[in-house]
Amino acid sequence: MNLLWAKLFTTLLLVALLVAVARSGRPRGLAIWAVLAGVLLARDLGYLAFGRELIVPLAELVVLALYLLWVRLFTGLQAADVVYLAVNFLALIAGAASFFLPWLPLTPAALSLLLLADVVYLAILLGLVSPYNTEGAEILMETRFVIIAGLFLVQVIGLLYGYAAPLIHNLLLPAAALIHFYVLLAYNRHLHAESRQAVQFYSTNLDSTFEFMENLGNAITAKIDLPRVLEIIIASAVHNIGADAGAILMVDEYEDVLRVRATRGIYPPLAPVPALARVNTAALKRYFQETPIPIGETILGEAVKSGQALLVRDAREDPRLGANREDDILFVSSLIAVPLVVSKRVLGVISTLKRAENRHFQDTDFQHLKTFAEYASITIDNLYTYLEVLEKRQMEREVDIAAEIQQKLLPGELPKLVGGSLAVHSRPARGVSGDYYDVLPLDQDKVALLVCDVAGKGIPAAMVMIMIRSITHLLVSPRLEAAATLTGINRGITGRIDVDHFATLGLVIYDQARRQAVYANAAHLPLLVWRASASKLLRVDAEGLPIGVEREGKYGQRRFDLERGDILILCTDGILEAMSPRNEQYGLKRLADVVQAACGLPANGLVQAIRADIERHAAGARQHDDQTLLVLRIE
């Protein structure tokens, strides 16, 4: 019994550490570690109940298989893994069968040899891991020596002394748990380090993003000059992610080719070039600028054709950059290419690269350039629209331009949720709405929902929306709380807009796995929560000033759990203040009655029911304010 308590104590400590890691974040493979803890507990209880030595190596087979699956979460499964897992599975079945068929020739010593072979295979896999071939390789590289050395030592001692020896149960098995402790502690350190890096990244790059926006605004205000705007965009992109060169290529209006419109630094062609073009950098630059690239060819053409951003961390490992591997005028070390997309239409591509050997882009650089590209895409498309209007001498009214800008800010379609449904209704009172909504997946579990109401109308209000949207897309993160996100948005906006263009904003971050929501509010309407268990509509609020009023404004947040059938409703005041012909507001009570009657419907059905009820209430009366309604139903 003393042996059991020694092992159970270490297993329970492992479970406690697992819970702590889970509370600080959701690292890859967390479920595997939960299964591993369960295997260790089952091993100890099984040995106590049956006293069979074979139980220990059988449990070790499962532990090693779980370690393989954990590593392959980062590197991807290979064909050899199927053989590995099949052999271990057969050994596990044979071991279990030997409890009932004593004549089976399976001994703990035979399993020990298989376990040693498993450790060697695992050591080879971990030894091949590097930052250049594995995303998130840091955790594997930090822990691989301890994992391999520890597991190898456990199996060697088990082979030499047998798994029934007191040494094994008194010392070795409890000590072996230190391997798992070490890996989970490393996980915890990495989670906290990533959180600190995320905060530092957002803090460092917010100012550069604002400077970029201001430079674009000044250029557009001074003169509608698209080439100058493109030069500002690529210069800012190169500077802010520490690149050596960059280029913007736009889709030709009449041909399926890309043409260079702006460059910064020496951006070499990403394909073989004639010898005359390699004479000097001036000739190379001229060749690149004058040679169109067919869409679908080279990495730049592929990015435009697929509409997907590309990060080539190490160009020497990418066959598409075969012409840029030699240490000469064409050499490229690392490359990013991000398509310029508006409303699913690809305008072109922005690309940056590093040319010094062994200098590579990181994931933070990739994310930052994607944020730049998103704002640049909207700006370029708006300039295209404006220039087309000038060319045709058919200047449209400001309200129509603002409406077009605003429409491009809204998500094209709502994401699909696991265990939930989303729906939205947004209707401007006139051509341009002061309302803005968005739904942003943060990771596989978390999603951010926001509804914003900007004071004012027309182009100024639309530009404020663009700024709020860009900053929000830069800030939102699965590791950043809702209140901290609003604080960052407010600091980024305040001082850069007129006071009379402030905005109210409600933000919900919903964790699908935990069925937990966090609500932060910048003077917006309270969040409405339908509790299915109580059949009651509740108001959830948090303190906070409007966005753009006070730079040092503080924001609170409310965290609460949800159950199946619960409903979250974010809306603007145009919903509750919809007027009837007798000047009666729609009001919260009418809304609650509709929700109660239609709470069993999916989110889309509930939205349609609310919309129809508002129309019945209005009975043709003029809509005096914008209406936006965003609904999440837990299913």
Architecture of domain 410-634: 4-Layer Sandwich (3.60)
> What is the DSSP code (8-state) at residue 572?
-
Q: Which CATH class is domain 225-392?
A: alpha beta
In angstroms, the CA 343 to CA 305 distance is 15
- What's the pLDDT score for residue 1? 43
- What's the pLDDT score for residue 286? 92
In angstroms, the CA 43 to CA 300 distance is 55
DSSP string, 214-239: HHHHHHHHH---HHHHHHHHHHHHHH
In angstroms, the CA 554 to CA 543 distance is 8
- What's the pLDDT score for residue 327? 64
Please count the CA atoms within 13 angstroms of the CA of 198 that sit on its side-chain side: 17
Partners of 504 in the β-ladder: 453
Q: How far lies 376's CA from each of 48, 76, 209, 466, 596, in Å?
A: 66, 35, 11, 11, 44
- What's the pLDDT score for residue 303? 94
Architecture of domain 2-195: Up-down Bundle (1.20)
- What's the pLDDT score for residue 131? 74
Q: How far lies 613's CA from each of 170, 437, 537, 590, in Å?
A: 71, 22, 17, 8
The token duo for 591 is 């809304």
Cβ proximity of 502 and 473 under 8 Å: no
Cβ proximity of 353 and 335 under 8 Å: yes
- What's the pLDDT score for residue 19? 66
Cβ proximity of 576 and 585 under 8 Å: yes
Instruction: List the chain residues with pLDDT less than 70.
Output: 1-29, 101-106, 132, 135, 191-224, 327, 386-406, 431-432, 457-459, 499
Residue 282 burial class via C-beta count within 10 angstroms: exposed 0-12, middle 13-18, buried 19 and up: exposed
- What's the pLDDT score for residue 2? 46
Distant-in-sequence, close-in-space partners of 267: CB < 8 Å, separation ≥ 6: 245, 246, 247, 285, 288, 351, 353
Domain boundaries, the chain: 2-195, 225-392, 410-634
In three-state form (DSSP H/G/I as H, E/B as E, the rest C), the secondary structure along 361-425 is CCHHHHHHHHHHHHHHHHHHHHHHHHHHHHHHCCCCCHHHHHHHHHHHHCCCCCCCECCEEEEEE
